[in-house]
Amino acid sequence: MAKIKKKGQSGQAKNYITRTQAVKKLQISLPDFRKLCIWKGIYPREPRSRKKVSKSATASTTFYYTKDIQYLQHEPLLQKFREQKVLEKKISRALGRGDVSDAARLERNAGRPDQTGKPRYTLHHVIRERYPTFIDAIRDLDDCLSMLFLFANLPSTTSVPAKMIARCERLCHEFQHYLITSHSLRKSFLSIKGIYYQANIQGEDVLWLVPYKFNQRVVGDIDFRIMGTFVEFYMTLLGFVNYRLYSSIGLKYPPKFDQTKDDKGAELAALTLEGVNLATNEETTKAITNGEGHGPNPKVQAEVDKLVKKLRTESAADKADEEMADGEEEEEEKATDAIDKFEPAAPGGDVLPQPTYSGNDPSKLFANCTLFLSRETPRQSLEFILRAFGCKRIGWDPILGEGSFTTDESDPSITHQIVDRPIVQAATTEQGDGEDNQTAQKLGPNQRYPGRIYVQPQWVWDCINDEELKSPELYAPGASLPPHLSPFVKPTQGQYDPTVPLEEQETEGEALDAAIEDAKDEVESDEENSEVENDMDVADDNDNDEEEDSDAEEDEELEDEEDEDEDEEEVLQRQRELEAEISGKAVKSKQVDPKLKAKLEKKKALERKKKEEAEDLERAKGMLSKKKRKLFEQMQYTNKKKSTEDMKLRSKRRKLEKEKAAGKA
């Protein structure tokens, strides 16, 4: 007889478990269960059939894989959570007995894990489990950086402590220092949400978002407990990543931190990088001898030195013979434009870096520039980008903080100054005295420092995205800036592109509509001008001579004759229309502009062609199956929606260009 299956012990009912059952099984509270799931990367799962899993399940019931919960049962953090629960019970009992000093002692010891030597818990083992290789951690760095940069800009509250904000800010600055040193930053984009950055770290592209440096307003409808759990995990992750990145380029981690400079707003300048090779002699000897004083055997070292010296002399002699043999052939050859190769003169000598044909090195884009940032510019983002692309000399107004190359705006070594304010002249009184205001620029257009280039902040972003120094005339203060496009979006065919002329990307129908509209406007303007000329009355004075009176009378007679001619033309036109209705022929209308008539005919032909294509398409759709036809209609709907949006953008640009041309005229 076959074994009888019991209900709930096989199938989907066994594979899934509800959240309430999981919390009871692990014997922890719901907040601790949420923390554990976030840190271990375990998320709720939706079963195919809720009825088969649990008949009592509602729409709000949360399910997890049973294997995931079994995996959590062996987690070391569970014991830490239980110890924390025991400590809370001890404190509550002490308060219940009225022993306040004992409760304070227990709470004080729990709040000082560094002094007691018993930290509450660490997430190091969780990082190693979730990211077996370093590349896995790099790929998961996008959300980590976005979250930490966000918390670094938040104000301190009861839900977001100041220590967490300071820790996030320091980790972000350490990561920025690595990007500056390794020149790993590639692109950046200014958006409404904030500033997007993209860096290439060991072959992986990392994209993150940094909010603008505004006063953030913390609202009450955000659960900072959940976000704080993520931040706690991400801080540990970025600490591991920063250590590996610093070690890969030969830097000590963590870098030295100057609290005094940080209090004065130095930010990046508050950290001092140190190379591994810059250690003192004592540190070097300790690292070599491992603190035990055991050096190499002098006899063995002498024999090794002799062998190395012998090998070097033999290799040098062989190279000298080869150079002598090749020298005669090289004398006969003509000089070419090839780049010279600086080979070492002796074995073991320093090898010089070889020059390349391409001189456009993005890491040295601003190497020859000395920039000064005005007080209204975003100093933090500009400093980071400029240093990442080779600029060593950046100055700014002293009100923006410490760490600048210079705070003197009149420094003659400054080549570029970044300003972001409108050029407003100082208000002048009747006596000619000027009153300075905050919006007015201290130096007027004709009073700028000679030999210095003034640009707006967008110039920096466009330069790094295009990997070349853009023309500063396009970004002059007060100038209309070129469009700032996202470097992360690849342009597709038919999509609106503001950098391309309108004539190259508009469709044939749009071009015809625009031409017809322009022609109609010209005809209307000509008619208005003629009406204005006809309605002009010649002012007559009572003291005019008799000759002028006679001339006026002649003009009035001519106008009366013209009015009579127009009335006759209207009567004749009406008569033609009646004759055409009786005979069934076409009405002979007034004379139309031949160019406008040709464009109208061309538009009609284009509409007939589109109608025929639509009919052919409908017939072809009838040959498709129902599934493919629905898919094709969905594709058509999406493409039509995109083309409509592009058409609106092109019409808006056409209108702006027309207004601009009319304003210049």
CB contact set of 244 (below 8 Å; sequence gap of 6+): 134
Nearest to 442 by CA among 420, 428, 423, 457: 423
Q: From CA 190, how far away is CA 382, in angstroms rounded?
A: 12
Surface-to-core class of residue 141, CB atoms within 10 Å of its CB (0-12 exposed, 13-18 middle, 19+ buried): buried
338 pLDDT higher than 60: no
644 pLDDT higher than 60: yes
Q: What is the pLDDT of residue 573?
A: 67
Q: What is the pLDDT of residue 34?
A: 93
Q: What is the pLDDT of residue 584?
A: 65
Q: What is the pLDDT of residue 189?
A: 95
Q: What is the pLDDT of residues 540-551, one digit of tens each?
A: 444 444 445 555
Q: What is the pLDDT of residues 468-482, one digit of tens each?
A: 999 999 999 888 898
Q: What is the gyration radius of the CA atoms in the chain, in angstroms? A: 40
Q: What is the pLDDT of residue 257?
A: 92
Q: What is the pLDDT of residues 345-373, one digit of tens each?
A: 444 444 444 433 334 677 889 999 999 99
What φ, ψ does residue 195 adopt, rounded to 5°?
Answer: -110, 120
Within 249-356, residue ranges assigned H as helices are: 259-263, 281-289, 298-332
Contact 477, 456 (CB under 8 A): yes
Q: From CA 438, how far away is CA 424, in angstroms rounded?
A: 10
Q: From CA 409, how far away is CA 370, in angstroms rounded?
A: 12
Q: What is the pLDDT of residue 653?
A: 78
Average pLDDT over residues 294-318: 63
Token match 């010209």: residue? 522
Q: Compute CA distances 172 → 179, 237, 263, whole Å.
A: 11, 12, 17
Q: What is the pLDDT of residues 206-257, one digit of tens each?
A: 999 999 988 888 887 888 889 999 999 999 999 999 999 999 999 999 999 9
Q: What is the largest CA-CA distance in the chain?
A: 137
Q: What is the pLDDT of residues 182-218, one digit of tens each?
A: 999 999 999 999 999 999 999 999 999 999 988 888 8
List strand residue ranges (DSSP E) for 40-162, in order: 63-65
Instruction: Tell me how far the alpha carbon of residue 558 is from its chain's centroid.
Output: 71
Q: What is the pLDDT of residue 281?
A: 38
Q: What is the pLDDT of residue 558?
A: 47
Average pLDDT over residues 148-162: 91
In this prediction, what percent of the chain has a pLDDT beyond 70?
Answer: 69
DSSP letter for each residue of 226-252: HHHHHHHHHHHHHHHHHHHHHHHTTB-
324 or 200, which is more confident: 200
343 pLDDT higher than 60: no
Contact 70, 64 (CB under 8 A): no
Q: From CA 143, how far away is CA 230, in angstroms rounded?
A: 10
286 pLDDT higher than 50: no
What φ, ψ does residue 501 adopt, rounded to 5°?
Answer: -60, 150
Q: What is the pLDDT of residue 66?
A: 92
Surface-to-core class of residue 15, CB atoms within 10 Å of its CB (0-12 exposed, 13-18 middle, 19+ buried): middle
* Other Cβ atoms within 10 Å of 378 Cβ, number: 18
Q: What is the pLDDT of residue 323?
A: 61
Q: What is the pLDDT of residues 580-611, one digit of tens each?
A: 667 666 555 555 567 667 777 777 887 888 88
Q: What is the pLDDT of residue 279?
A: 41
Q: What is the pLDDT of residue 337?
A: 47
